[in-house]
Structure 1
Amino acid sequence: MPDNPVIRGLLGEVIVVAAAFAFAWFVHVILRRLAIRRQSIFLSRLTRVSHRAWIVTLVVVAMFVWTTRWFGLRGAAAEVIPHILLIATLISVAWLVLKVLFVAEDAAFQWLRVDVANNRRVRRIRTQVAVLRRFTTAVVVLVALAAILMTFDQLRTLGASILASAGVFGAVAGFAAHATLGNVFAGLQLAITDQLRYDDVVVVQDEWGRIEELTLTHVVLRLWDERRLVLPTTYFTTTPFQNWTRNEARVLGSVILHLAYNAPVAELRAEARRIIEASPLWDGREWVLQVVDSTPLTMVVRVLASAHDAPSSWDLRCEIREKLLTFLQTHYPWALPHPVPTVEEVLAGSDGRSPLATPPGTRSSPLHRRA
C-alpha cells in the first residue's frame, strides 16, 4: 500500500466505486432474472427503466461515504469535494425516486385495464394514481432542490432575513401564482373526490367527448371527431357539465322523432323492438318507445335503448333513427311531417286539391273540402 495519503485515498476510492458498481450490477441482474422467472411486469420494467439511476446512486453514495470518512482530505478540498458529492447524492436519489414512481404508475396502468364493460372503478383509480404521481413528482423535485440549497452556508446564514421577508414574498408569490395554484388544487380535488376520471364521457360547451388526459393544471377532452379540447381544471370545479359515465359505463340513449298525429304508434313500436333486439349494439337491458310530447302540428315520439358504453349508444341511436325513418318512408309515408301550406298555396293548387297529405281511407279536412 503506498505511503502517500492522497494516492492511498484515490486507490481506495477506485476500489469503493468498483465495489459499488459491481454490487449495483449484481442486484440488477438478480432482479432481471427474477422478473423473467415470475413473469413480473413491474420488476421487468423496473430493471429496464431505473437501472442507470440505481447504479449512479450507489456509486455516488459510496464515493460520498468514502470521501467524508476515510479519504483524509485537507484544506479547501476537504470542503469542496464532499459538498459536490453531497449535491450529486441528492440529485441521484431524487432521480431514482422519480424513476420508481414512473414505473409504479405504468405497472398500475397495466393492471388497471379500462377495456372492460363496466370500468368505472378502474378509471377512478387510474385517475387518482396519475394525479398523485404528478403531485409526488413535484414534491420530490421541490424537496431535492430545497435540500441542495440548504447545503450552502450562505443560504443558512440568510435564513433570518428570508423569514423576516416571508410575509411580503409570500403575498407577491401567491398573487402571481394564483391561477396556477388554483388549477393544481382543482386537479387534486377532481382526482380525490372522484368527480372526473380518465375515459369519462362528458358534454362540455356543447361538445361531446372523452377525457383523454387529466393533470394537475389542465384536462384534455378528445372530441367525437378526433379534435382535442383543452380546459383548465378549475373549469370542471366551477362550471356545470354533463358526465354520462359518472355512476357506470352503460348509457341510455334516446331517439326523438316528430311524426304526424295519424302515425301508427303500435306498428312503429313493433318495428323499433325488432330493430333494437336484432342490433349487436344493444346490451339487452332495456328499451321503450313512448309518445312524450305534442306540438300543434306533430306528436313527439321518443325511443330509449341502453348500450354498454357511450360510443355504442351513439351508433345504436343512429341505427334506430335511420331504420325507423326508412320503415316509415316505405310503409307509412303519410305519417312523416309535411310542410304546412299557406292559404295562397292551397287556393293556387295546380290540381285543385289541398297540398295537405291525407292517408288513404281518412276523411278530408274542412280546409280540403273548401278548396
Structure 2
Amino acid sequence: MISFDDFLRIAEAPLHTWPGALCVAAVGVVFAIGVHRVGSRILKRIARPYPLISVVLRYIDTPALVLLIILALGFVLFEAPDTLPFAAVLRDLATVALIVALTFLAARSAGAVGEAIVQAHPLDTENNLHARRIHTQARVLARSVMVVIVIIGFGGALMTFPSVRQIGASLLASAGVAGLVAGIAARPVLGNLIAGLQIALSQPIRLDDVVVIQGEWGRVEEITGTYVSIRIWDQRRLIVPLQWFIENPFTNWTRNSSQIIGTVFFYVDYRMPILPLREELERILEHAPEWDGRVQVLQVTDATERSMQLRVLVSSFDSGLNWDLRCRVREGLLNFVQAAYPQYLPRTRADLSSDKEHVPHTEFAPPLERAGPAPKAASTANTAADPVASRGERSGPDPSAHAMASTTQQPPVDGAGNPALSRES
C-alpha cells in the first residue's frame, strides 16, 4: 500500500529536472485557469441581481486570473529542490511577481469600488449637482487610494532584496536627513496627493463643472491623482495640476447650481423706442426652448456720444443652453431693429457745411467817413464766446449812418467812372 510519504516522493520526482518542472508548471497553470473560469461564472451568476457587485467582479477579473497563475507557478518553484539550477533566483522573482499581482488586484479593487459608486449615480439627470459631487469624491478618493497601494506595493517589492533592506536600515539610522531629502524630492507628488484629498473633501471643483481658468472657458472632464483635464469649448484640453486649484483663484459657474444668467449687449440710436424692443424680447423668449422663465430684463445701461447701450439679461438651466439663448436673443433683436427701425441703427453724425452757409445774407454798405463822434468802445470782449457783445456786429451797419451817407454830396466822375479834376487844378 502506498503511503502519503511515498505519494509526495512520487509527486516531487518530476521537479528535480527542468523538463519535469515545466510540465508540472503547465499543469498548474491550466488548473489555475480552470479554477478562475468556474469561480468567475459562479460569482457572476450570484451577483447578477446586484449591479454594483457585478461592476467590481468585472474589474477584478483579469487581476484575479494573473494572481492565480502566479500562485500556481510559485507553488511549483517553492516545492522544487534547491539542487535545481536557478531555483533560488526564480523564487525571488516569483515573490516579486506575487507582490506585483497583489498590488494590481488591490488597485483594481479600489478602482472598481469607485466606478460602481459612479455608475450608481448617473449624470444624465436634470439636476445632477449631487451626482457630480459623488462622482468627484469617488474618483478622486479611489485614485488616491490606488496611488497609496502602488507606493506600498513598490516598497514591498524592493524590500524582498537583501541589499535594499540594508539600504533601508541605513536610512532609518539617519531618518532626519533621509526624511528631509525625501520630502523635498517628493514635494510635487505629495502636494498633488494632498491637494487631491482636499478637492475630494471640500470640492471646489467637480466633474462636469463649468470653470473659467486664465480666460479659458471649459468643463472639468477628468480629475486624476496629479492633474485636472479641462475640456475647452473648441475641443482643446487644458491640463492643470491639482495643487493649482488650492493655491489660485478661478471661476466656477456651477458651484452651487447649474442655472446661470447670461448678458447680451447691443447699441442703437438715441431715437430708438425701448418699449417695442421689450415686447420683441418677450416674444423671442416665449418661443425659446433654452429659456427657463426666471429672468427677462432689457435696460439702457450706458449712453455714449454716438449711441446708447442696451443690456439684456436672460436665464437658462445651464451655461451651454444659455450660450445658445444669448445668440438667439441677439440675432432676434438685431433682425427686429433692421426690419422695423432701420433708421435707428447706430450711426455717426458729421457737420460738413461751412460757416458761411449758416450766416444769413446781408447787403453791407461800403465803409463811410462818419462825421459824428466815434462810438464808445464796448465794455465786453468781442469774442465768439460772448454773443451779446458781438450782436451789434452781426446785425450789420447803423441805418442812420447809411441814410446820412445817401444825402452827402459826392465828387463828379468822368465817363470812365473816375473822379473828375477841377478846372483850377
Is contact 2:144-2:196 (8 Å) kept? Answer: no
Number of the residue aligned with 2:261: 252
- Quote the Cα distance in structure 1 between the aligned partners of 2:25 and 2:213: 62
Shift in alpha-carbon separation, 1:223–1:195, aligned structure 2, 3 A? same
Indicate which of 347, 351, 359 corresponds to 2:353. Answer: 347
> Equivalents in 2 of 1:97, 1:188: separation in Å?
19
2:223 and 2:26 map into 1 onto residues whose CA distance is 47
Query: In the TM superposition, what whole-angstrom CA distance separates every residue of 1:4-62 from its partner, at most 9, and x where no partner exists?
Result: 57328779988876665543332101123345x53x54454544443232133234446
Q: Tell me, which stretches of 5 or more residues in structure 1 are unaligned?
A: 353-371
The match for 2:180 among 171, 174, 178 is 171
Q: Corresponding residue for 1:206?
A: 215
Please state how far the C-alpha of 1:227 moved relative to its aligned partner. Answer: 2.2
Shift in Å, 1:188: 3.1
| Structure 1 residue aligned with 2:195 | 186
Q: Compute the TM-score of the two structures, normalised by the length of structure 1.
A: 0.79
1:305-331 Cα offsets, whole Å, 9 max, x none, are 111211110000010011111111221
Identical aligned pairs, as a percentage?
38
Q: Is the contact between residue 188 and residue 216 of structure 1 (CA under 8 Å) also seen in structure 2?
A: no
1:334 aligns with 2:343: yes
CA distance in 2, matches of 1:28, 1:52: 10
Structure 1 residues 1-371: aligned runs within 5 Å:
1=7, 3=9, 6-7=12-13, 21-35=33-47, 37-38=48-49, 40-61=50-71, 71=79, 73=81, 82-341=91-350, 345-347=351-353
The 1:330/1:137 distance shift into structure 2, 3 A limit, reads: same
State the Cα deviation string for residues 280-302 of structure 1 (Å, max 9, x = none): 11122332222334444433322
The answer as to whether partners of 2:118 and 2:134 remain within 8 angstroms in 1 is: no
Label 1:14 to 1:180 Cα distance change in 2 as closer, same or farther (>3 A).
Answer: closer
Higher share in helix: 1
SS of the residue 1:245 aligns to:
coil
1:320 aligned counterpart, secondary structure: helix
CA–CA distance in structure 1, aligned partners of residues 120 and 293 of structure 2:
29
- String of CA shifts for 1:200-223, please: whole Å, max 9, x gaps: 111222222211222232222222
Q: Which amino acid aligns with 1:33?
A: R
CA distance in 1, matches of 2:121, 2:168: 46
TM-score by length of 2: 0.70
Q: Which amino acid aligns with 1:53?
A: P
Cα distance, 1:234–1:308 mapped onto 2, change above 3 Å: same
Answer with 1 or 2: which has the greater Rg: 2
Aligned CA distance change for structure 1 residues 225 and 339 (closer, same or farther; 3 Å): farther
Whether the 8 Å CA contact 1:289–1:301 is kept in 2: the answer is yes
- CA–CA distance in structure 2, aligned partners of residues 317 and 304 of structure 1: 9
Q: Does the 8 Å contact 1:118/1:250 carry over to 2?
A: no
Tell which has more relative contact order, 1 or 2 (C-alpha 8 A, sep 6+): 1
Deviation (angstroms), 1:332: 2.0
1:31/1:43 contact within 8 Å kept: no
